[in-house]
Structure 1
Amino acid sequence: MSWALSLPTETLKDSSARHVLLCLANYAGSNGTGAFPSASTLAQDTGLSERTVRYKLDDLEQSGLIKKGNQAIAAVHIDRHDRRPVVYDLQISRGANTAPRTKRGADDVTGCNPQQSGVQSGTERGAAAAPNTSLNHQGTEEQLQQREIDAALAEQNSAAIEPQDDRQRFAMFATWVPNEKGLSDQITIAGLPADAVPDAAIRAFMGFFVAKPATIDTSAGWCYRLVQWVKRERVKASGQGKAPDFDDTSWANDLGDL
């Protein structure tokens, strides 16, 4: 957050965008990465409308002060891809002035002691020193460390993470890859040849269900749906004396029965 506070006015003149950036920084890690508050959360934090928040985020991204980060970080915490907010990384190497660390002279018109962020450390009014509380709602130090661990694990995995528990139900996502054994078992059970499910069929199947986030299933369940659909298309094409055309989108009308 100190980086956002120290941005010079000429770098970010829009006060609303600055407010959004300050609130976004509250949710970033110590290195400025992994911030993923929703637009509604930022709207509550800033008092702006969600629509304005989205515009300001676009402006901040276009100005190079933020950029889209590793979206798998949000996937670790939020199962449904359609409810995952965008993960942003703050570009802390841009625009900020280096915080002063040398002692100020007696003629400093601010009258502040040379402490970090220019805050005077004295307790002139008798109050005990304030604890170093966080304004970013990120929780305890243990929770922050866990977030960094989660982010590191997510970085090692693909951009979208399929649940490790085969019993967990999930919505289809754009980078889904069928479980090799699960798909092979379903092909065998269906009595189809090993190469019965081409990449074109998988892409067409995914494209349809990505647009239907309310449909969820287990890893094995998705393999079953895929193979049953391919089997149906092969039977239909065989009756017409031709090979199945998986690029033809008319098959989508029959998927409601799967």
Structure 2
Amino acid sequence: MSIEAIRWALNAAPIPRDRRDASSLAVVLLGLANHADPDGRNAFPSLATLARYTRLSERSIRYALRTLQELDLIQGSDPDIVAAYVKRADRRPNGYDLAVHRTEATVDNAADAVDNAHREGHSVPPVDQHEGQTRPARGANNDATGGKACPRTVLNRPGNRPARERAPQARSPLSPPCGQCDARLDDPVSARVLWLNAERTQSAKCPRCHPSIVDAAGGRQ
């Protein structure tokens, strides 16, 4: 594997960008560069290996190799070198040398791009109309607001917050104990009982504090 050959295939190989098969040519060339020496020579991966790299069919790889040769980006290498590594002639792949000395011209800055566009007759929009380069001024820097600060919507202001929960309703005060039972002032009505024995093991609800108690005769106390 050669880092130099891979870098050339990725960044500088002059593959025409207007071709429909440009991506296939680039990925096949990258697969060859992965097997070349630092000078870009003696790359002889098998078609099965290139198919595994590129996810292309062997027929597409053969077409890409033939096209790369027509573009003078690769050429056949010394077959004796391939034979030294692969003894069986029926399993011997073709070897290729990469034309790493050929590079494409790249545009490194926006000024060169503008000059090229003018030479080709294309109009270039002003710099303030390029998407992603400038943003409209906001707030006091914007002429549309007349120097005023942009309004803000503060969601946490008291006037903008809806009423959360209503205040809990005050409970109705308990009626005071009748005085005949053992209940205290803060005891609920259910706890107001009369003890039937001294050991306080038996109790009955106080009839005065529980007016809804029905006596045995069916009337209310």
TM range (shorter): 0.3 to 0.5
Whose RCO is larger (CA < 8 A, sep 6+)?
1
The structure in which a higher percent of residues are helix is 1
TM-score (norm 1): 0.36
Larger radius of gyration: 2
TM-score (norm 2): 0.42
